[in-house]
Amino acid sequence: MYLFGYGSLMWRPEVAYKARRAALLTGYHRAYVMFTTKARGSKDAPGMMLGLAPGGECWGVAFEIEQSRAAETLAAVDKREGVGRANWRVLLPVRIDDADDGLGRDVLRPAWTYMPWPAWENYCGLQPRPRMVELIATGVGERGSAYEYLRCVNQELHAIGHPDPGCQTLLDDVERFRAESAS
């Protein structure tokens, strides 16, 4: 069984796994589409969190999970990801990086991942860029800041060898906002 992470699951899965590899999800891209008022923001100063949006592609990390631990692993990650309110769990094919089937073809594996629930009260869809930058720059919650979340996503994508220019540009904009706000 595989679990695909495209946000904080990449660097902090909080579950046991057998192997960890870069993987590509086609047909979706990572996008800031959810307000966070607990993990990376507060009710008074919301932050933003990533979700998957239709179209494009998304590099992330596929974790191979022992089949004997599948149920407990999914239960733990479901709780963390807010299944039933913020997200739902879906099974999608991912291409495992640097792997082939012995015949020179890419390996596709079904992997569980999490999609935002548009009916959730904190689902916001795409926000105007200045608003998104401000929320990421200022949101702080129980798990840290929205800025740190973006910085870690960007850092992890570089570490797996698949930097995301959109994440880098957003990080640059947020850092510029923070510097201007501090002066």
Which pLDDT score, from 0 to 100, does residue 103 have?
56
Domain extents in the chain: 2-182
- What architecture is the 2-182 domain classified under in CATH? Roll (3.10)
Helix (H) or strand (E) run with residue 95 in it: strand 87-100
SS3 track for 4-37? EECCHHHCCCCCCCCEEEEEEEEEEEEEEEEEEC
Phi, psi of 19 (to 5 degrees): -150, 155
Q: What is the rounded distance in angstroms from the CA atom of residue 68 to the CA atom of residue 143?
A: 29
| pLDDT, the chain, mean | 94
Q: What is the pTM of this model?
A: 0.92
pLDDT tens digits, residue range 142-176? Answer: 999 999 999 999 999 999 999 999 999 999 999 99
Q: How far is CA 77 from CA 17, 45, 113, in A?
A: 12, 26, 10
pLDDT tens-digit map of 67-115:
999 999 999 999 999 998 899 999 999 999 876 666 555 789 999 999 9
